[in-house]
Homo-oligomer: A and B are copies of this chain.
Amino acid sequence: MDGQNQYFISTKRIETLVDGIFAIAMTLLVLSIKLPDNSGLWTDSMVWGILWGQATNLFIYALSFYILATLWINHHRVFDQLKIADHGFWWITVLWLLLIALVPFSTYLMGDFGNTTPAALFFQANMFLIGIVSLLNRWYVIENKLADKIYKPETVKQIYLINLVFPVSALIGMSIAFISPPWSPIVYLFSPLIIIYLQRQL
């Protein structure tokens, strides 16, 4: 507090906060699958109807879970090599977490109104912004030498390429949202595979 080190933040505690927010966001996703009030009598076929009616919500739940898992594992890499965190890094992370914590809402929106363009655009915009802030985060760490190693120029290029997969996917998803909104999240079935493929080449 008096002059030294005040500018730096323990990466361990940011990590705990990040993990907590991811765990909660991932678990809250399940609330996108909804049930009616259980007042009245329900027959088997009526309950089959409820479950069938929630099939899209179940699919979008699984997809968002998979997206958040991809983001977490990608972020894990950044932290693994992080030597130190400063206020700039912290505030970029806060912005990123704010967008991560918004994913359950986007998922509920997509689950319930996924056949409309605005819902699909909102979902994709959420992902696009997450991707952009991830990219910013990576750029900030490299620019300010916060990592514990110096990256070769090719590696830096590859890192940026990996972090472009999400924003580009979101842009493709946005285009699809105008034609067929419920199909637009399909792009994220492929983006994690591309990310893993690119990471292998590092």
Using CB atoms and an 8 Å cutoff, list the residues of chain A in contact with chain B. 1-3, 6-7, 9-10, 13, 15-17, 19-30, 33, 35, 38, 42-44, 46-48, 50-51, 61-62, 65-66, 69, 72-73, 76-77, 79-81, 87, 90-91, 94, 97-98, 101-102, 104-105, 108-109, 112-113, 116-119, 122, 149, 151-152, 155, 159, 196, 199-200, 202
Contact = CB atoms under 8 A, between A and B. Distances in A.
A144 to B, nearest CB: 16
B152 A102 contact: no
B16 A19 contact: yes
A1 B47 CA distance: 43
A66 to B, nearest CB: 7
Contacts of A202: 1-3, 6
B51 A105 contact: no
A85 to B, nearest CB: 10
Residue in A19, A27, A44, A151 with the greatest tally of chain B CB atoms within 10 Å: A27
B73 A90 contact: yes
Given A23-B20, A72-B17, A76-B10, A104 B151 contact: no
A149 B2 contact: yes
Contacts of A15: 13, 16
A135 to B, nearest CB: 15
B24 A113 contact: no
Given A44-B118, A76-B10, A66 B98 contact: yes
A75 B73 CA distance: 20
B30 A23 contact: no
